[in-house]
Each structure stands twice: as C-alpha cells, then as structure tokens.
Amino acid sequence: MNETVRELALGNGLTVRFSDASRRYFGDYHQVRVEVTCEVPLSAELFDDSAAFEAARKLLGSAVCYRKLVEHQGVPSLSVAEQVEKVIQHFIDHSLNYFSSEQFPRRLVDSELNRLRSRSRSFVVPMHLNG
C-alpha cells in the first residue's frame, strides 16, 4: 500500500509527492520503494494556441503525471525509514530545482506529447510499401 510520506508545494504551483511502497521480502530485509509523482494540469497557457491545447487534451486528458519509482533492495527493518528519507533528500538535492522551474510544466507536457506521437508514428506503414 502506498502511503504519502511527504508533499512539497513548489513555487510554480505544482506539488511533488513522495509515497512509500516499501515491503518486507525476506526475513528482516525490505525492498524500499519510494514513488515520486508530480501532476501537471493541462492549461491553455502551456500551448502556443487554442488548437494545440485542444489537440493535446484529446491525447493526454486533463493532466500529465510524472512518476518515478526508486527502489533499494536488502534494507534491514531498522533502516527502512532512514533509507526512505535518503531517497527523498536525494531527489530534493538533485532534482527539485528542475521541477520548480517555470519551464517544467511545459517541458513535461511536450515530452509526453512527443512520446505519444512517436509511438503512434512507429505503427504507420507508408503507402508505397503497402502494395
């Protein structure tokens, strides 16, 4: 079960959430699992024009969610809480500035749009190869 252990409100209006999904897997050893999420609601301000915004909403829905799972194996019971805190602190030290930037929401949305578009293009067969 994922339990939200911390939320960080960012200056750009977003919130980064850290959820603990750790589990015991053998004896006194645990798999520490911290899920980092940040949801970016789609808004017209993220796009050059209303047509681009509407097209993105059709593909993405109302929001795009960044999700990363960080795992550490073989953590003794007495060290689980400390390891969870280390994962969170590492994210804060190395990634929080990027997520806090005013450009992050648009970059995440653009990245997801590009991923979806490139994935759909990989299934298109040019007409001259079809027959």
What confidence tens digit (pLDDT) does each residue in 67-120 have? 999 999 999 999 999 999 999 999 999 999 999 999 999 999 999 999 988 876
pLDDT score at 102: 96
Decide if 42 is inside a domain. Answer: yes
Longest dimension (CA), the chain: 65
Decide if 130 is inside a domain. Answer: no
Give 25 or 131, the one with higher predicted confidence. 25
Decide if 96 is inside a domain. Answer: yes
pLDDT score at 122: 56
CB atoms within 10 A of CB 56: 20
Place 130 in a pLDDT band, splitting at 50, 70 and 90.
very low
Decide if 104 is inside a domain. Answer: yes
- Give the DSSP H or E segment for 126: none
pTM of the complete model = 0.84
Q: Which two tokens stand for residue 18?
A: 């850290």
Mean pLDDT within 9-36: 96
Residue 95 and residue 123: Cα distance in Å, rounded? 34
Helical pair 104-121 and 50-60, crossing angle rounded to 10 deg: 70
Decide if 55 is inside a domain. Answer: yes
Please give the tally of structural domains in the chain. Answer: 1
For all residues of the chain together, what is the average pLDDT? Answer: 91
Q: Which domain holds residue 19?
A: 3-121
Are 94 and 109 in contact, with CB atoms under 8 Å apart? no
Q: How far is CA 64 from the centre of its chain?
A: 8
Decide if 128 is inside a domain. Answer: no
Decide if 89 is inside a domain. Answer: yes
Decide if 58 is inside a domain. Answer: yes
